[in-house]
Amino acid sequence: MCNNWDKAYSKYRWRVDLEHFSKAADYPGYFNRVIITPADVMTFENKFRTTVDGNGSFEIAGEVCFWKNYGSAQARNRVTQKLLTHLKIQDNWNRFVQAIKQASSDPSYGHFVDLRKACNQPRGFATPITFLAFYKPNEYPMVDKHIANWWVKNRAEYGYGASPDFSQRNDGWIQTYTVSQTKQNWNAYIAWEKFCNDYATRIAKNCRWNWRARDVEMAIWKVSQNSISLEVLP
């Protein structure tokens, strides 16, 4: 019953060489790691959370942004530099920290919008969600076009057929050009978040593994791009 979940999670690999950031030399002590396995990502999450809770500097948010956008060669440097330029201003960093904490304790649409503004992505979706997921991976999964594609195809099989889809462009990217699209995506994300927490509980019951919402998401991210199927758990 648990074999394919374990197989999917163990095959998760997201090789990101932070040194590829075009301005890496401008931030000594940062952008100098390669992140590949779930354990590497967990270490990265811990460093980000520690920084947001008061023991670090704004550069870590740039690392997370570059990591998230690494698959887009056109966007990763531009988006990361825009974020760093914004967050190096202390008041902006303080607002960013407060917005993450508010959204993590009360995941409302309004607090999500505040988080988007605080990380200087007024039309962003996946990257602001990534900050939330890095801060509280026990509760919040990430999302991208691969997850959105999996969700629309498979959610009904897992008992979430009444939940909304993400609003996607023809190429799969989650779109947030309008308020209605953004609200639809937020509602879809909340359903996705409930599913990941639900399955973390089911995996603990059936497989005796202490998985987080993020771990469920990482397994599904892997199967969304491969031929592995995942069991429906009671």
HEC assignment per residue over the chain: CCHHHHHHHHCCCCCEEHHHCCCHHHCCCCCCCEECCHHHHHHHHHHHHHHHCCCCCCHHHHHHHHHHCCCCCCCHHHHHHHHHHHHCCHHHHHHHHHHHHHHHHCCCHHHHHHHHHHCCCCCCCHHHHHHHHHHCCCCCCCCCHHHHHHHHHHHHHHCCCCCCCCCECCCCCECCCCHHHHHHHHHHHHHHHHHHHHHHHHHHHHHCCCCCHHHHHHHHHHHCCCCCCCCCCC
Spatial distance between the Cα atoms of 202 and 42, rounded to a whole number of angstroms: 21
| Residues contacting 207, CB < 8 A, separation 6+ | 1, 2, 5, 6
At 12 the pLDDT is: 93
At 74 the pLDDT is: 83
CB–CB of 15/226 below 8 Å? Answer: no
pTM above 0.75, yes or no: yes
Spatial distance between the Cα atoms of 8 and 199, rounded to a whole number of angstroms: 14
Could you read off the pLDDT tens digit of each residue along the chain, which spans 234 residues? 798 999 999 999 999 999 999 999 999 999 999 999 999 999 999 999 999 999 889 999 999 999 999 998 888 999 999 999 999 999 999 999 999 999 999 999 999 999 999 999 999 999 999 999 999 999 999 999 999 999 999 999 999 999 999 999 999 999 999 999 999 999 999 999 999 999 999 999 999 999 999 999 999 999 988 777 899 999
